[in-house]
Structure 1
Amino acid sequence: MTSAIVIGGGLSGVLAATALSHHVDEVTVIESDKYPEQPAPRRGMPQGRQNHMLTAGGAHALDQLLPGTTDLLFAAGAHKLAMGRNILTLSSEGWFRRVDDDAFFIACSRNLLDHIVRQQALTNPVITVLQETKATGLVGTASRVTGIRYEQGTEPERTLTADFVVDATGSRSKTPGWLAELGVPELHEEFLDAGLAYAGRLYEAPAEAAADFPGVLIQTVPNTGKPGAGAAFMPQEDGRWIVSLIGTAGGQPPTGEDGFMEFARNVGHPIVAELMARATPIGEIKGSRGLANRRRYFERLPLPDGFLALGDAVTVLSPNYASGMSMAAFGALALRNQLKSHGLEPGLGKKVQLDIAAKVAGPWKSATSTDRWFPGVRTNIKLGKGTVEQKLAVRWSRTAAEHPGLLKATYQVATLQTPQNKVMTLPLMGALLRGPQQAPLTPAEALAQFPQLGKLLSSAPADLSKVEH
């Protein structure tokens, strides 16, 4: 009889258990929390009270692992927001024009998404979850992991053996130290911390808000010498909205009532503040900090057989890039695909680790290339001058704001459907070389693309649409 252990019962762990369940006789998930019976916050859920968006690429991977999951999300009230049609975006270089495209995000609470995934996955009889149980170490040698040590309640520490062990414990994973205890060389880790912080709140949408009300993204602006500031406004299930305000070191958003609204009014454009003023707050404002970009290079280790790390245990990008849930699904899908090809043969973990590294390389470069330009950045990465890279990023964003083809390519990359190095056709390269050819949209023109906003804001101050970016 073959068995596997997954340490961590969050999204990454549940999806990893699903991938394993088709290739071993039993999977045991070790989870330190107790799952709520209904969609609700829990202690170990990353930024559970902030805005969460599942990219199109992540949604496709999720449905491959658990067919029908996105349909269940939509039936429960999640919103499918096409980036070009359903989200008003103020980029670092201007307002984006509305375009038809299939690149999308799924917007809903993290509570709902995790609950639906657990409902789909944990009815599998192969999977057993030990809740309120804490892993305390790995068992084995530098050449092979054979199980874990764990504690449950007040009982003495026990050992559980398995043919394969997956670390899905997230950014605070202890397995680098546990591997070192087995004699594995030290794990190399990189980080880049722009001091990003979130402040978020739920709202009850006003009755007159349309069912297809758009989301709003106001992106942070790098390389100005000032802290970055941004906002995300997204519809949620049950007629709710969520607002997350974003700031980097020296400009983090406050969690007090007056400061929260004042920050929203001064972040690029006051549209998010105006929407907040027309909605009913639900609960208190919640802050999240410690949101650095971190990457652990497990694929470079002489990795013991029988071991794999995935999800946030490998790479964490600041939530600004909406990639965490998608990367969890990509990692589990890579595990499933390698199991189909190779089963539990030696070297499985290393193969999957290399697949995960290849998948995360592009988003990691994009995130660190942007966040490096905010003041007060801390990092252990050796950064070059990056002048050409920065100029190209500015030119791309300015041109995309007016060029439909380049904007669609931008959305394909942002929703993790296509790597950036795969979207550039000769016509798009030509457009990028020519650069912007039109005057940027004014705020009034940008807002007019979404009539739902105008209907709700008809009582807004007369000069709302005249505030210039």
Structure 2
Amino acid sequence: MPEMTSPARPTAVVIGASAAGLFAASVLTEFADVTLIERDELPEGPEGRKGVPQARHAHLLWSGGVRAFEELLPGLTDDIVARGGRLVHIMGDMVSRAPNEVWFRRFRTTHHRNLVCSRNLLDHALRERVLRDPRISLLDNTVAEGLEGDATRVTGVRIQPGTGIRTLSADLVVDASGRGSHAPAWLTGLGLPPVTERQVNAGVAYATRVYRAPAATVGSFPLVNVQANPARTPGQGGIILPVEDGRWIVTLSGTRGGEPTKDPDAFVDFALNLGDPVIGTLIEKAEPLGPIATTRSTANQRRYYEKMRAWPDGFAILGDAIAGYNPVYGHGLTVTAQCALALRRILRT
């Protein structure tokens, strides 16, 4: 009998190994062999890295994100909870002051639950789950330098792994490189018109410090959230997020003229003067576990790729590379997972 050969599987390249890239890679394994490109060296454990500076601040995964996580990678949420994360009821496990300065009533008669943990733990659990798939090859410490192809079709990516540049050919290239995506310049380099972009910047700044949670609160303490009142300027707010390993992530925020700073002597005072002193009162005698991290990169940013008159086959963009949101909404991870679900639905057709 003649020897039977299997047709080669299609190939895909995903740029960026944060949540958007990892979810995209997991979806693509149903259809192709995947190479994942990441400019950072990925850590072995639940640690931060340069390419995800927002990981230092408080994160929430809303119930729509929890459902998307489970649809993409069944059991991932349980894995994170087993490592110290929590599924918290909205509003039963929260003490939250609304923007009109009225405290929300606490109740449990809802199916909505948020996943609460540090971003480092979430990313670590996601990396472990996705990268164990033999159909995914990781190239970290590798920079994507540009697209190969023309205005009608993208055929690969030019990469720089250390010294020298080489080309990875692919049937599909997915840009999941986040807010700093170079896709607008890459596409014009292929002869396509510039993409329309819009930015809405409320000037919100964030400052975060991690504290050791008082022993009596570990495992059951509610989220504590004081939302900014938009009728008062500058707008200021804060949140205590109880996370794994007996820690509180405390993130304070303020708009222009009322921003929190890195000054450790000013952090508690800022929290005591949010319009309600509850956060400041809870942390003023707590033990800080490290320095204060700040960020000002909080603008809402939208690139309208869907309105371009022409688009090359073999190229897709997901997550923050299309739309990045002010972190106050807590929607980034949820939208990222839902983007991956949309990618899977399209590929299955």
Matches within 5 A, 1:22-421: 22-24=30-32, 26-93=33-100, 94-100=102-108, 101-154=110-163, 156-224=164-232, 226-301=233-308, 302-341=310-349
Give, in angstroms, the shift of residue 328 of structure 1.
1.0
In 2, Cα distance between equivalents of 1:171 and 1:135 = 15
**3-state SS, counterpart of residue 171 of structure 1:** coil
Give, in angstroms, the shift of residue 258 of structure 1.
1.9
Once the two structures are superposed, what CA deviation does each residue of 1:304-344 show, in whole Å capped at 9, x if it has no partner?
A: 11111111001111110001111110111111111112xxx
State the identity as a percent.
45
TM-score, normalised via structure 1 length: 0.71
In 2, Cα distance between equivalents of 1:17 and 1:186 = 27
Counterpart of 1:398 in structure 2 is none
Contact 1:140 1:147 in 2 (8 A): yes
In 2, Cα distance between equivalents of 1:316 and 1:46 = 14
Give, in angstroms, the shift of residue 277 of structure 1.
2.0
**Greater share of strand residues, 1 or 2?**
2
Quickly say closer, same or farther: Cα 1:46–1:337, change in 2 above 3 A.
Answer: farther
1:15 corresponds to which of 19, 23, 43: 23
The gaps in structure 1 that reach 5 residues or longer are 342-469
Give, in angstroms, the shift of residue 103 of structure 1.
1.7
Once the two structures are superposed, what CA deviation does each residue of 1:80-111 show, in whole Å capped at 9, x if it has no partner?
A: 12121001110111111112222222111111
In 2, Cα distance between equivalents of 1:317 and 1:249 = 18
In 2, Cα distance between equivalents of 1:278 and 1:65 = 42
**3-state SS, counterpart of residue 18 of structure 1:** helix
Contact 1:206 1:278 in 2 (8 A): no
**3-state SS, counterpart of residue 48 of structure 1:** helix
Give, in angstroms, the shift of residue 259 of structure 1.
1.1
- Letter paired with 1:136: E
Contact 1:54 1:107 in 2 (8 A): yes
Contact 2:218 2:246 in 1 (8 A): no
Contact 2:154 2:313 in 1 (8 A): yes
Give, in angstroms, the shift of residue 303 of structure 1.
1.6
In 1, Cα distance between equivalents of 2:165 and 2:231 = 51
In 2, Cα distance between equivalents of 1:284 and 1:167 = 33
**3-state SS, counterpart of residue 74 of structure 2:** coil
Q: How many residues align?
A: 338
Contact 1:166 1:309 in 2 (8 A): yes
In 2, Cα distance between equivalents of 1:46 and 1:187 = 26
The gaps in structure 2 that reach 5 residues or longer are 1-7
In 2, Cα distance between equivalents of 1:217 and 1:207 = 20
In 1, Cα distance between equivalents of 2:297 and 2:85 = 28
Give, in angstroms, the shift of residue 7 of structure 1.
0.6
Contact 2:37 2:139 in 1 (8 A): yes
Query: Considering only aligned residues, what root-mean-square deviation do their CA atoms show, in Å?
Result: 1.0
Counterpart of 1:416 in structure 2 is none
